[in-house]
């Protein structure tokens, strides 16, 4: 089985579960750290011809991260493309099962069982909080409806202030964000790299929590430990 992954989360999942199956991945596929495969460009602008030259049996993609025009080009070249749709944690677990089976996994990996167990329980007791979750700056963009990261936070007792917005990633002026009556701001380090010096200053008077974007937005082996680590970071904001 020869697999090309156009999704960082899926790249990590396939690499650690089906060693040797991956022959290509995007420039943004940073895990595992020692991944040694042909790079085929970005998630939004992959080099379709480069993917075709790798003669994969399967390309794994995601309906949000990848463009349909690129996937159509791969199909036109006779390549099978598996497209995932991930909007919440249960959906991520189901899609991971599907992808790994399609890539030749000989059984369910332990990390996936551990991830399912970690996310099976209810949120820890305590008052729920509402958060603004920026994902980009210039212009400001935040999590909106039906997002995996929004579901992750909801399962940790943190409700997304824009969960009912008509857009999945709405552009919202920072003045409006500050007037949203939220309890805190959650700032991941991807896709925009928010840092202690770039982001919190835009929200005077609001607690800002810097989080590892991989724990918040990736669905793969990191899911097994993400709940405990995110919960610890979010609770620190209450102190």
CA distances from 87 to 183, 210, 217 (A): 24, 22, 11
Minimal CA–CA distance to 138: which of 86, 194, 56, 97?
194
Count the residues in the chain.
Answer: 239
Position 18 pLDDT exceeds 90? yes
Kindly report whether the global pTM for this prediction surpasses the value 0.85: yes
Minimal CA–CA distance to 193: which of 17, 30, 22?
30
Spatial distance between the Cα atoms of 197 and 42, rounded to a whole number of angstroms:
27
Q: Tens of pLDDT along 186-230?
A: 999 999 999 999 999 999 999 999 999 999 999 999 999 999 999
Written as six digits, the tokens of 30 are 């940073």
- Computed over every residue of the chain, the mean pLDDT equals 95
- pLDDT confidence tier of residue 239, bands split at 50, 70 and 90: low
Position 238 pLDDT exceeds 80? no
Spatial distance between the Cα atoms of 132 and 165, rounded to a whole number of angstroms:
12
Q: Tens of pLDDT along 133-190?
A: 999 999 999 999 999 999 999 999 999 999 999 999 999 999 999 999 999 999 999 9
Spatial distance between the Cα atoms of 87 and 115, rounded to a whole number of angstroms:
16
Minimal CA–CA distance to 58: which of 128, 129, 10, 117?
10
- pLDDT confidence tier of residue 237, bands split at 50, 70 and 90: confident
């Amino acid at each position: 089985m020869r697999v090309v992954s156009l999704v960082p989360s899926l790249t990590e999942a396939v690499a650690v579960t089906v060693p040797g199956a991956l022959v290509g991945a995007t420039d943004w596929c940073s895990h595992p750290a020692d991944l040694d495969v042909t790079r085929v460009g970005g998630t939004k602008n992959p080099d379709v011809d480069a993917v075709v030259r790798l003669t994969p049996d399967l390309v794994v993609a995601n309906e949000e991260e990848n463009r349909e025009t690129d996937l159509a080009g791969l199909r036109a070249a006779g390549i099978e493309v598996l497209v995932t749709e991930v909007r919440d944690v249960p959906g991520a677990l189901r899609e991971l099962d599907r992808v790994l089976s399609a890539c030749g996994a000989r059984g369910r990996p332990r990390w996936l069982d551990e991830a399912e167990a970690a996310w099976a329980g209810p949120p820890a007791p305590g008052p729920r909080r509402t958060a603004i979750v920026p994902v980009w700056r210039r212009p400001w963009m935040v999590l909106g409806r039906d997002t995996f990261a929004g579901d992750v936070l909801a399962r940790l007792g943190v409700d997304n202030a824009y969960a009912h917005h008509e857009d999945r990633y709405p552009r919202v002026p920072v003045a409006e964000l500050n007037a949203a009556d939220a309890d805190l701001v959650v700032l991941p380090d991807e896709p925009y790299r928010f840092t202690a010096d770039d982001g919190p200053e835009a929200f005077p008077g609001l607690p800002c929590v810097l989080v590892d974007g991989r724990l918040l937005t990736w669905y793969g082996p990191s899911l097994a430990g993400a709940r405990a680590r995110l919960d610890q970071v979010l609770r620190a904001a209450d102190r």
